[in-house]
């Protein structure tokens, strides 16, 4: 595989993913409706419960809406990562995924290209949500929007890799929606996306540790700290580790000698 072959394959896969996204306008709207509902409707109720302002991990107090926007941005990335994996299950049933994986390019590169293409769409949707949040009045430092880019890319790769592994394990398209909900909702609600970890610890020690061990919490904290141009080394290490481990497991899952393709032939 030469560099030219790799770039042509990557650009082709990315262009296909972007065209699919542009043709599915409902997918774009749906990806924004969920976080906007939390921001515009539910935030008022949670603010009344949690108080008007939250301090940790920042030096100054922030409003509850400002606190949850990075978490809701992670929600956009998580849902889109699962949605991209759903399209892979569909492609596998239609046969296009099998044709892609039988190309002369390495399997790990093809799956990585699919992951990068899906992550690019996720980050675009996340910035669209941040733009709407800014119009609503929830804004971050100007440098924070730039600092969030690598954090969101890494988080999108991690969530996409989780979905990629799920798509390699599920045989039928009908089963994927239920599995998506089984994965998405525990990851989202057992995290620091909506509530600070110190506030959760005041309520339940068990919930605190579940949220602390949740990789989604670390991805959210990575984005949250980046929004204020701050560095969180633990969150970075955990998010990068999750992306690498689940990508390797996905490559194994799509290997016809071991993974789902072997089970389908059998």
Q: What is the pLDDT of residue 177?
A: 66
| Closest by CA position to 171, among listed 120, 79, 97 | 97
For 2, half-sphere exposure in the C-beta direction (CA atoms, 13 angstrom radius) is: 3
What are 1's two structure tokens?
Answer: 């595989």
Tell me, what's the pLDDT at 265?
41
Please give the residue range of the domain that contains residue 240. Answer: 3-265
Residue with tokens 């046969």: 95
Q: Alpha-carbon dihedral of residues 259, 108, 188, 219, nearest 10 degrees?
A: 150
pTM, whole model, 2 decimals?
A: 0.83
Tokens 């599915």 correspond to 24
Which residue, chain included where needed, has tokens 């880019």?
149
Residue pointed to by tokens 């970890």: 197
Assess contact for 265 and 256: CB atoms under 8 A.
Answer: yes
User: Using DSSP, how many helices (H) and how many strands (E) does the chain show?
Assistant: 13, 2
Average pLDDT per block of 10 residues along the chain, 266 residues long: 65 69 70 82 66 53 80 90 74 63 72 84 91 89 93 94 82 66 85 83 88 93 91 93 90 68 47
In this prediction, residue 266 carries a pLDDT of 42
**How many domains does the chain fold into?**
1
Please report the pLDDT score of residue 148 as a whole number. Answer: 95
């Amino acid at each position: 595989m030469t560099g030219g072959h790799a770039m042509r394959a990557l650009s082709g896969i990315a262009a296909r993913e972007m065209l699919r996204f542009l043709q599915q306008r409902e997918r774009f709207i749906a990806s924004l409706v969920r976080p906007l509902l939390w921001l515009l409707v539910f935030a008022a109720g949670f603010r009344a419960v949690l108080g008007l302002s939250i301090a940790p991990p920042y030096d100054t107090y922030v409003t509850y809406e400002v606190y949850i926007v990075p978490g809701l941005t992670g929600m956009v990335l998580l849902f889109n990562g699962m949605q991209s994996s759903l399209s892979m299950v569909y492609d596998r049933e239609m046969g296009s995924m099998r044709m892609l994986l039988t190309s002369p390019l390495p399997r790990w590169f093809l799956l990585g290209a699919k992951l990068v293409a899906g992550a690019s769409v996720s980050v675009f949707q996340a910035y669209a949500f941040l733009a709407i949040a800014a119009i609503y009045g929830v804004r971050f430092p100007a440098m924070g929007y730039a600092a969030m880019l690598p954090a969101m890319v890494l988080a999108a790769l991690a969530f996409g890799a989780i979905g990629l592994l799920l798509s390699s394990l599920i045989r039928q398209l009908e089963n994927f929606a239920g599995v998506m909900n089984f994965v998405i909702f525990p990851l989202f609600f057992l995290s620091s996306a909506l509530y600070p970890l110190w506030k959760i610890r005041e309520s339940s020690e068990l919930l605190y540790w579940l949220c602390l061990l949740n990789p989604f919490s670390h991805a959210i904290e990575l984005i949250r700290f980046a929004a204020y141009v701050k560095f969180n080394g633990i969150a970075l290490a955990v998010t990068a580790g999750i992306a690498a481990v689940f990508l390797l497991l996905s490559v194994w899952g799509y290997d016809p000698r071991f993974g789902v393709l072997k089970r389908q032939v059998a």
